[in-house]
């Protein structure tokens, strides 16, 4: 390592950390490091994006999908600013990400130079590790510390480096740190197991709320649920943890959720939270006792007053808890939940199977489910499309990528790019609304450039559908939600990909088949009916506010006609 440049050593350390690609854009404050990456392109690919926000969102998606740290790179000033949204997404979803940003030359710092901003102050809120590198010799040690912190604390780490430091030679090896992070398995304590088991054994209506922390413990979760006679509800980022058609499965909770999930929570006499810190208190039981399992003690009782906690590894903890509890002989509550879910599915699937014109979003998602492979990756954008996919795509062994806590529109395409780079052998689909896709469509040419045959399905209602519905839910008349239409199929062709326009039901399946057989990135632009994704269970406040919206709308149009008004209100009660 002696007499190598700091940039060369940094590139070698990234490889030691098992990192094989970096997202970003070149520029004058990272060009020395870019040149080092050029020499490493066979083992450390630099993925040139069109916008740094895509780089950070793709890096976060890397971490969510693979568990490995994602890495993004930007110049100082505007490039670093563009990273913020993706880094906040990583922070919110607990995804380890490293951002390396350039900075003005070390002898210009503090002199209000071109593109100089206070990077450490700017990244202070988002980054768990946030350091300006002041010397070439410090870079290797700080790089190792940054990566280790991102892994151990599950979030974003930022290193800001003046480009001239990358070109300086280092005469010694890093002395303080190494490229190594070891994660131990937390054993559950016997006293915690016994306390939890006692509550479970006493409960007559236990309900499981499983989060993303259960992704590595599917078998253990299903065995536990069977022995405890408990239905399973999953959080949005945990979709796919349990196959959607498993008998115990009641779907999601909250605005995107199902009516059986809502009702099970209302009836529950014991809430069992596994690997989640669910934020929406209104959808949890009023005062039921609760058990919470998490590998982070700070999460226990953070959002719900728990009675007992279990701090441990998901697999080991559930395995030991299952051994400790009694098998429930009274399974009446579980059987009732299963029956409610069957009825719910029957009603939901009616909308999926009819052929309407224009198409309904439910129909598109159902046909997509039929078309994709069992091990596909779905990168789902934020908006109405999130609700339709969560409710109507029944996952088996697919992976589900989403910006869950930050909920940032535009995440679908970067997630798909990430998934195809990480798993080139798997089918990858981005499911987007036209509003979300248009926020990141500039990077569709990135998929073309790197020959990533992803399929982007756009549910196009020429509207910011979720925002429109939120305005109605508040009792407001819709304003500034309509979108000028774009021919996304022609856009795909102009970028060098494949484009398909779908306006009729009979066009959808052939378009899906053609796109999946194409060796190029493809966009399927599907014109859909503008339909609100009503909650599985509508609250009294939502009903009242929606009534206010309908009255305001009709009054403004001077069409206050009671029969149509009654018909509109009937849909929501």
Q: Does pLDDT of 536 surpass 60?
A: no
Exposure string of 445-458, with b = 16+ CB inside 10 Å and e = fewer, is bbbbbeebbbbbbb
- Please state, for a pLDDT cut of 90, what percent of the chain lies above it: 78
- Burial status of residue 478 (CB atoms within 10 A of its CB: 0-12, 13-18, 19 or more): middle
- What would the mean pLDDT of 306-310 be, rounded to a whole number? 94
Longest C-alpha distance within the chain, in Å?
84
* 535, two tokens: 């909650």
pLDDT at residue 475, rounded to an integer: 84
Helices of type H across 231-377: 259-267, 314-324, 332-353, 361-371
Q: Cβ atoms within 10 A of the Cβ of 370, count?
A: 8
1 vs 110, 162, 171, 181, 187, CA distance in Å? 32, 21, 7, 21, 40
- Please state, for a pLDDT cut of 70, what percent of the chain lies above it: 92
Q: Cβ atoms within 10 A of the Cβ of 110, count?
A: 9
pTM of the model: 0.92
What is residue 325's DSSP assignment? Answer: S
DSSP 13-46: HHHHTT--EEEE---TTTHHHHHHHHHTTTTSEE
List CB contacts of 487: < 8 A, sequence separation 6 or more.
Answer: 501, 525
- Are 60 and 97 contacting, i.e. CB atoms less than 8 angstroms apart? yes
Alpha-carbon span 3 to 168, nearest angstrom: 9
- What would the mean pLDDT of 507-533 be, rounded to a whole number? 95
Alpha-carbon span 80 to 216, nearest angstrom: 34
pLDDT mean across residues, the chain: 91
Alpha-carbon span 425 to 428, nearest angstrom: 9
H/E element, 383:
none
pLDDT at residue 545, rounded to an integer: 55
Confidence category of residue 573, pLDDT binned at 50, 70, 90: very low
| CATH class in words for 188-338 | alpha beta
Q: Does pLDDT of 239 surpass 60?
A: yes
Confidence category of residue 554, pLDDT binned at 50, 70, 90: low
Nearest to 433 by CA among 474, 469, 394: 469
Write out pLDDT tens, residues 243-286: 999 999 999 998 889 999 999 999 999 999 999 988 888 899 98
Alpha-carbon span 219 to 242, nearest angstrom: 9
Region label for 112, one of left (φ > 0), alpha (ψ between -120 and 50) or beta (otherwise): left
Q: Give me the residue spans of the domains in the chain.
A: 4-165, 188-338, 353-534
Among 102-111, 290-299, 512-521, 559-568, name the one with the lowest average pLDDT.
559-568
At residue 238, the 3 state secondary structure works out as helix
Q: For CA atoms 344, 349, 354, 356, give the dihedral sign.
A: positive
Write out pLDDT tens, residues 165-212: 999 999 776 666 788 888 777 889 999 999 999 999 999 999 999 999
Domains 188-338 and 353-534 alike in fold: yes
List CB contacts of 343: < 8 A, sequence separation 6 or more.
Answer: none
CA dihedral 308, 314, 315, 318 (to 10 degrees): 20
Higher-scoring residue by pLDDT: 415, 543 = 415
pLDDT at residue 562, rounded to an integer: 44
Alpha-carbon span 202 to 406, nearest angstrom: 38
Write out pLDDT tens, residues 31-70: 999 999 999 999 999 999 999 999 999 999 999 999 999 9
What is residue 230's DSSP assignment? Answer: -
Confidence category of residue 357, pLDDT binned at 50, 70, 90: confident
Alpha carbon of residue 315 to chain centroid: 22
- Are 502 and 511 contacting, i.e. CB atoms less than 8 angstroms apart? yes
At residue 524, the 3 state secondary structure works out as strand
Does domain 4-165 fall under CATH 3.40.50.970? My reply is yes
DSSP 440-486: TGGGHHHHHHTT---EEEEEE-SB-HHHHHHHHHTTPPP-S-B----
Confidence category of residue 538, pLDDT binned at 50, 70, 90: low
- What would the mean pLDDT of 475-490 be, rounded to a whole number? 91
- What would the mean pLDDT of 119-124 be, rounded to a whole number? 95
Alpha-carbon span 155 to 134, nearest angstrom: 23
- What would the mean pLDDT of 474-495 be, rounded to a whole number? 92
Higher-scoring residue by pLDDT: 155, 278 = 155
CATH assignment, 353-534: 3.40.50.970
Higher-scoring residue by pLDDT: 406, 354 = 406
Higher-scoring residue by pLDDT: 541, 77 = 77
pLDDT at residue 565, rounded to an integer: 44
Confidence category of residue 2, pLDDT binned at 50, 70, 90: low
Confidence category of residue 328, pLDDT binned at 50, 70, 90: very high
What is residue 57's DSSP assignment? Answer: H
Confidence category of residue 567, pLDDT binned at 50, 70, 90: very low
Alpha-carbon span 138 to 134, nearest angstrom: 7
- Are 230 and 208 contacting, i.e. CB atoms less than 8 angstroms apart? yes
- Are 234 and 241 contacting, i.e. CB atoms less than 8 angstroms apart? yes
């Amino acid at each position: 390592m002696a007499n190598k440049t700091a940039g060369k050593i940094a590139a070698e350390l990234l490889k030691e950390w098992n990192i094989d690609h970096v997202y970003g854009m070149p520029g004058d404050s990272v060009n020395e490091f870019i040149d080092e990456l050029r020499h490493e392109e066979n083992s450390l690919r630099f993925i040139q994006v069109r916008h740094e926000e895509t780089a950070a969102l793709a890096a976060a998606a890397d971490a969510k999908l693979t568990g490995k740290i994602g890495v993004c790179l930007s110049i100082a000033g505007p490039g670093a600013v563009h990273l913020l949204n993706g880094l906040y997404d990583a922070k919110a979803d607990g995804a380890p990400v490293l951002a390396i940003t350039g900075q003005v030359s070390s002898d210009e710092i503090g002199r209000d130079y071109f593109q100089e901003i206070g990077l450490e102050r700017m990244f202070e809120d988002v980054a768990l590790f946030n350091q300006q590198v002041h010397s070439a010799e410090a870079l290797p040690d700080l790089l190792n510390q940054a990566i280790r912190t991102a892994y151990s604390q599950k979030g974003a780490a930022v290193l800001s480096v003046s480009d001239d430091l990358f070109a300086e030679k280092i005469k010694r090896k890093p002395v303080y740190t190494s490229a190594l992070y070891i994660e131990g398995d937390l054993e559950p304590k016997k006293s915690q197991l016994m306390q939890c088991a006692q509550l479970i054994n006493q409960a007559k209506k236990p309900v499981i709320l499983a989060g993303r922390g259960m992704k590595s413990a599917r078998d253990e979760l299903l065995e536990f649920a069977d022995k405890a006679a408990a239905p399973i509800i999953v959080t949005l980022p945990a979709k796919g943890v349990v196959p959607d058609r498993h008998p115990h499965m009641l779907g999601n909770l909250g605005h995107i959720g199902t009516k059986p999930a809502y009702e099970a929570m209302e009836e529950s006499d014991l809430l069992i939270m596994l690997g989640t810190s669910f934020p929406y208190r209104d959808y949890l039981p009023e005062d039921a006792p609760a058990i919470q399992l998490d590998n982070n003690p700070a999460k226990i009782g953070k959002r719900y007053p728990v009675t007992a906690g279990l701090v441990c590894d998901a697999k080991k903890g559930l395995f030991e808890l299952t051994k400790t509890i009694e098998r429930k002989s009274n399974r009446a509550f579980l059987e009732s939940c299963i029956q409610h879910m069957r009825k719910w599915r029957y009603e939901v699937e009616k909308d999926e199977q009819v052929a309407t014109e224009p198409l309904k979003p439910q129909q598109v998602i159902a046909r997509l489910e039929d078309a994709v492979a069992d091990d596909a990756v779905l990168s789902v954008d934020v908006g109405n499309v999130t609700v339709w996919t969560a409710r109507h795509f029944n996952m088996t062994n697919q992976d589900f990528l989403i910006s869950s806590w930050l909920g940032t529109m535009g995440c679908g395409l970067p997630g798909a790019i990430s998934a195809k780079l990480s798993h080139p052998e798997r089918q990858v689909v981005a499911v987007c609304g036209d509003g979300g896709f248009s926020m990141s469509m500039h990077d569709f040419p990135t998929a073309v450039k790197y020959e990533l045959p992803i399929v982007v399905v756009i549910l196009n209602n020429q509207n910011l559908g979720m925002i429109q519905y939120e305005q109605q839910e508040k009792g407001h008349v819709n304003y500034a939600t309509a979108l000028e239409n774009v021919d996304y199929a022609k856009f795909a062709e102009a970028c060098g990909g494949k484009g398909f326009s779908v306006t009729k039901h009979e066009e959808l399946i052939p378009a899906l088949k053609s796109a999946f057989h194409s060796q190029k990135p493809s966009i399927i632009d599907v014109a859909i009916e503008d339909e609100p994704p009503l909650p599985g269970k509508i609250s009294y406040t939502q009903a009242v506010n929606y009534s206010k919206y309908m009255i305001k709308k009709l009054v403004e149009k001077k069409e206050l006609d009671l029969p149509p008004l009654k018909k509109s209100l009937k849909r929501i009660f």
